[in-house]
Amino acid sequence: MNKILQIQDISVTKGSFSISGINLSIEENDYLVLLGPTGSGKTILLRTIAGFNTPDSGRIILDGKDITVMPPHKRSIVYLSQHNDLFPHLNVYDNIAFGLRFAGMTDWEMKQRVEKYVEIFGLGDLLGRDIRTLSGGEGKKVMMARSLAIHPKILLLDEPLGMLDHNARFSLLGKFMEVHRKLNLTIIQVSHHREEALFINQKAAVLNQGRVEQFGTVDDIFKRPANRFVKDFLGK
């Protein structure tokens, strides 16, 4: 498989907290879950990959190109937080189409692209809706459709399911996995929940105090935790 993203010895300081010596190699079409307790550095790492944090040292390589200091909007990486980042003055259709308006597409090309993701996420009945009337799950689907419509190389999900109840969370997680398979999309997702990593069942990295304690397949990490911290965190 092609290594689409390489995190090489990355160290970042934010206030009094830092992550250091982070090394990860993500292959094309991986679905990687970043696990760890609150304050372990998961979001700092994700935002560094997105370009919102500048590393103190180390390199980030995307498709063979050094993007360590590249501005976020040039990385072909989309970052989604757990908050509703939709534009309140635009309806569902215009939210999904927003990024495409800067891509030099014709109206017909834009409509075709939007319709593709509307169908994937089952949003056909909502296109004219004010986004303030959407449920939490519907809003997340619109955010995903908008993010994927611009065809990013990597999708970064920062606890996107954190504000949903259990049933809605796993229903939407199943949709993420379906999209991942259909589009051969590379996804990195932050989570506190071991159940989400088990549900996805691909790769995981366990972080603690700004360092990676273990990285590998979910099966290997859960069956063969590398140390006491990983074992205790996973509840083994």
Q: Tell me: the pLDDT tens digits for 80-98?
A: 887 778 999 999 999 999 9
Average pLDDT of the segment spanning 38-46: 94
Helices assigned H by DSSP within the chain: 42-50, 92-97, 107-121, 136-149, 166-183, 194-200, 218-223, 228-233
**What CATH fold (topology level) applies to the domain 3-76+152-233?**
Rossmann fold (3.40.50)
Question: Residue ranges per domain, the chain?
Answer: 3-76+152-233, 88-149
Residue 104 confidence (pLDDT): 78
Q: Is the pLDDT of residue 1 over 70?
A: no
Q: Is the pLDDT of residue 173 over 80?
A: yes
- Measured distance CA(119)–CA(154) in Å, rounded: 21
Cβ atoms of 204 and 216 within 8 Å: the answer is: yes
Burial of 160 (C-beta count, 10 Å sphere; 0-12/13-18/19+): buried
Half-sphere exposure of 89 (CA within 13 A, CB side): 1
Residue 236 confidence (pLDDT): 56
Return the structure tokens found at 218.
Answer: 């979910």
Half-sphere exposure of 60 (CA within 13 A, CB side): 23
Residue 83 confidence (pLDDT): 75
Q: Is the pLDDT of residue 169 over 60?
A: yes
Residue 140 confidence (pLDDT): 85
Q: Is the pLDDT of residue 178 over 90?
A: no
Distance of CA 174 to the CA centre of its chain: 14
Residue 142 confidence (pLDDT): 93
In terms of DSSP bridges, do strands 31-35 and 186-191 run parallel, antiparallel, or are they unpaired? Answer: parallel
SS3 52: coil
Average pLDDT of the segment spanning 185-194: 91
Nearest to 102 by CA among 113, 110, 91, 90: 110
The overall pTM is greater than 0.95 = no
Q: Is the pLDDT of residue 61 over 90?
A: yes
Q: Tell me how far CA of residue 11 lies from CA of 18, 49, 57, 145, 169, in angstroms.
A: 7, 12, 5, 32, 32
